[in-house]
Amino acid sequence: VRLSADKEGRWPYLFSEGYQVASQPTWDYNCIAFAAGCESEWWWPDANGDAAWPDKVNREEQLACFAEAFATIGYQVCEHSDLEPGYEKIAIYARNGIPTHAARQLPDGRWKSKLGAWEDIEHNTLKAVEGDIYGQAVLFMKRRAT
């Protein structure tokens, strides 16, 4: 199943890298919550406090704050996005140094993302959702699989 042409066209590599839609659109959760394993909240460090964010982590749109947020659920920064048996990995995307998106790795090495309030997708590579919207995957974190 593919996204509508209008949506798919927003990512230059999405179709060529390969992906499939895995859910219906919803405002229930976003990519950050989804990467953290939560499908009932929208996570973001917004200054107005409408989104969920770990209490002890600064509400600032900085990579360090996102790394701290994921550290609260056991993730540690790692060097690469390659599949490592026994570990769960996430990738954080940034554009001009500002976090934009996160994806989580599937057990087969592919990735899964929630696209804002749009659908979840499974994508073969991190490059699939790189581009003007999300920028590039710049930070990788891992934790032991449970």
70 touches other proteins (CB under 8 A): no
Q: Dihedrals φ, ψ of 92, to 5°?
A: -110, 130
The answer to whether the CB of 40 falls within 8 A of the CB of 34 is no
55 touches other proteins (CB under 8 A): no
* Residue written as token pair 């032991």: 144
| Residue length of the chain | 146
53 touches other proteins (CB under 8 A): yes
How far is 14 from 97, CA to CA, in rounded Å? Answer: 22
Kind plus residue range of the DSSP H or E element containing 34: helix 31-35
Q: Which of 21, 36, 52, 90 binds other proteins (CB under 8 A)?
A: 52
Q: Which is nearer to other proteins, 15 or 87 (CB)?
A: 15
Binding-site string for other proteins from residue 105 to residue 124, where x marks contact by CB under 8 A and - marks none: ---------xxxxx------
Considering the complex, what minimum distance in angstroms separates the CB of residue 26 from other proteins?
A: 8
Q: Which is nearer to other proteins, 105 or 115 (CB)?
A: 115
Q: Which of 21, 31, 94, 128 binds other proteins (CB under 8 A)?
A: 31
> Which regions of 2-146 does DSSP assign to beta strands (E)?
19-21, 76-78, 87-95, 98-105, 111-114, 120-123, 136-144
From the DSSP assignment, how many helices (H) and strands (E) are in the chain? 4, 7
Considering the complex, what minimum distance in angstroms separates the CB of residue 130 from other proteins?
A: 13
Q: Which is nearer to other proteins, 101 or 142 (CB)?
A: 101
Contact residues toward other proteins (CB under 8 A) are: 7, 10, 27-28, 30-33, 40-44, 46-53, 61, 100-101, 114-118, 133
